[in-house]
Structure 1
Amino acid sequence: MNLRRMFAIVLKELRQMRRDRITLAMIVGIPVMQLVLFGYAINLNLRGLDAGIADQAATSASRAAVMDMVATGVIAPSLVAQTPQQLMDALRRGEISVGVVIPPDFERRLDEGREAVQVLVDGTDTVVQSAAIQLAQLPLGAAPPGARPPPAAGSGRISVVAFYNPERRSAVNIVPGLIGVILTMTMVLFTAVAIVRERERGNMELLIATPLSRSELMVGKVLPYAAIGLVQTSVVLLLGLWLFQVPIRGSALDVYLAAVLLILANLTLGLLISTRAQSQFQAMQMTFFVFLPSILLSGFMFPFAGMPRVVQWAAELLPLTHFLRLIRGVMLRGAGLWELWPEVLALVVFTALMMTAAILRFRKRLD
């Protein structure tokens, strides 16, 4: 073995990596991204859950009870309701995670040591359920002299009722999210290498010679993969129903429409990556930079409510974040797409922007 020749190869590889800015970014960027995301953005100790309050008693004692619950930091009031039904509607739409109901006879129930407050929880996220259960340990005001002594904290003074997943089965939460994760991984990757593959195989010359416009070429690249995405969606839904008994409480049509929105968003993002990458390997590297934040920040693996506000703003730019709200709302809470229109609008706007950027960046040239 000639050490001089081997050292020449080592030096050549280092110089090549230095010229490849994508690889250089991966070397430094992946450790930095993981450290920042896991150390700063991921937090399993949930605080500030969006909560709706229906204080039907409207007394000083009921207001004090609400203030005590807010003081724990577990909930943050974001909605004032008049009836429990309004809270249930907000839960179904995903506007709140917790609803607090104080009945009109709150003080009498408190004096008698009975259930005085009911906490309604969106059980589609088991971590949110666990955080809300902490409220059941909160003691309400002491009974007046001569009244029956109050029971111990957590024995019924505040009851927590979990909807949509009372058994706290993790599969109910994970399987709908897996549809989004699989579609994000495959759709972005498939189209990220689409234009690059044509260039590497020498097919770009043939495409340049055709009368195809840039828009026709890009849309033609997207449509076959959209059909593949729908097949993947069907496979996950059928296996989830068969193996884990994951319910579909909403319309199956809405489920597929939500999947189509994510598929198109991911395909257009992949096309944009494809116009930037110089090789299939670079395309896969750039896809990884999209996939990792999507998994960690969208609310699939870790609760969205536990992230710092700045990170939540960044996560709103990811299609998977909006899809998870859509698919869990439709499948688990029985909501309609029209009730979740902000998420639908976000995905439509994202798709339009990515498609426009990909078309503008693509040139039917070899250089």
Structure 2
Amino acid sequence: MNLRRMLAIVVKELRQLRRDRVTLAMILGIPVMQLVLFGYAINLNLRGLDAGIADQANTAASRALVMDMVATGVVSPTLDATSPQQLMEALRRGEISIGIVIPPDFERRRFDGREAVQVLVDGSDTVVQSAAIQLAQLPLDSRPTRDAAGGRVARGQVSVVSFYNPERRSAINIVPGLIGVILTMTMVLFTSVAIVRERERGNMELLMATPLSRSELMIGKVLPYIAIGLLQTTVVLALGMWLFDVPVRGSVLDVYVASSLLIVANLTLGLLISTRAQSQFQAMQMTFFIFLPSILLSGFMFPFAGMPRAVQWLAELLPLTHFLRLIRGVMLRGAGLLELWPDVAALLAFAALMMAAAILRFRKRLD
């Protein structure tokens, strides 16, 4: 063991790390990112859930009750509905997470000690269910009513009715999201090393000699992986239905269309990374740098509504955020893609922007 020679290797490695800006950024960036995300962005106490209110009584007491619910900070009124049916449609489309129904005979129900208010909850997210139950804890002057079955929890005059997942099974919420997580991890990784691998193996010289245009090369790199992504979608979907009884309440075709949109968005992002990375190791590093915030900020692991507004704006730039809304809307709430068109448009715009950027950055040359 020669300490002098070993020290020379240590110095050499440090100098190489200093020249490798991507690795240096990962060394410093990942701890900072995790600290900021877990300390600032991640919040398990939901506040400001989008809520629709159908106050059919419209009395001083009913308006006071609504004000008390809003004062808890759990809900933020975004829809003034006229009927429970309107709230149900908004829940199905994902426009609101909670609906508050106050019937016309609110005063008589309150006087008799019966259920005077219903809180309709999008139960596809179990965390939202837990937050909604807080609304049923409001102090009321009437005696409590009996509990009811079928996902309904009565607390005094306020009853919480959970739709789409009354049993509060976590697998129903997780399995659809897993489709997006797996596609994000694999599709970005596969294509992020595509151009780099051609360069490292010496195949770039052969491609340079062909009449292929930049657009043809990039699109040709993407197309094979679309089929692979759809195969992964089928595997997760079949196993989820078989092992965990995860329902598909909407169209199966819509499930595959939504998955295809995410696949294309992730593949184009991977191609852009591939044009920037100098080695396959750098490409994998940059992929992890994208994958980490996608998992944490998209709403898969932690509730989206609990994040600060600035972080929510950042999460809107991630394809997985929009896919989770699409896949849960189609599979769990039975919504159609046309009803969820803002997220469809976001994924299409993201894919077009990333593909254009990748084509512009790519040059058919060895350097």
TM-score range, shorter chain: over 0.9
**Contact 1:139–1:157 (8 Å) recurs in 2:** no
Q: Which residue of 2 aligns with 1:74?
A: 74
1:21 and 1:150 mapped to 2: Cα distance? 66
Give deviations 1:78-98, integer Å, cap 9, x for gaps. 110000011000000101000
- Calculate percent identity across the aligned residue pairs: 84
Partner-residue secondary structure (3-state), 1:364: coil
2:43 maps to what in 1?
43
Q: 1:151 aligns with which of 115, 140, 144?
A: 144
In structure 1, runs of 5+ residues without a counterpart are: 143-148
Alignment-derived partner of residue 363 in structure 1:
363
1:249-281 alpha-carbon deviations (Å, 9 max, x no partner): 000000000000000000000000000000000
TM-score of the superposed pair, with normalisation by structure 1: 0.97
Counterpart code for 1:150: R
TM-score, normalised on structure 2? 0.97
Look up the equivalent residue of 1:124 and give its one-letter code.
S
Post-superposition offset of 1:139: 2.3
- Superposition map of 1:206-285 within 5 A: 206-285=206-285
* SS across alignment from 1:121: strand
The one-letter code sitting in structure 2 at the alignment partner of 1:289 is F
Partner of 1:60: 60
Q: How far apart are 1:152 and its partner, in Å?
A: 7.6
1:12 and 2:12 matched? yes
Deviations 1:194-248 (A, max 9, x none): 0000000000000000000000000000000010000000000000000000000
Paired letter, 1:293:
P
| Letter of the 2:281 counterpart | F
SS at 1:284 equivalent: helix
Aligned counterpart, 2:308: 308
Return the alpha-carbon distance in structure 1 between the equivalents of residues 86 and 284 of structure 2: 46
Aligned letter for 1:132?
A
Q: How big is the shift at 1:151?
A: 3.0
Unaligned 5+ runs, structure 2: 147-153
Offset at residue 156 of structure 1 (A): 3.7
SS at match of 1:337: coil
Deviation at 1:60, TM superposition (A): 0.7
- Alpha-carbon RMSD across the aligned residues, in angstroms, is 1.0
Alignment of 1:342-353 (within 5 A): 342-353=342-353
Aligned residues: 360
Partner of 1:146: none
Q: What letter is aligned with 2:279? A: S
Give per-residue Cα distances to partners, 1:289-311, cap 9 Å, x unaligned. 10000000000000000000000
In 2, the alpha carbon distance for the partners of 1:98 and 1:309 equals 19
Residues 1:25 and 2:49 aligned together:
no
Which segment drifts farther, 70-79 or 262-271? 70-79
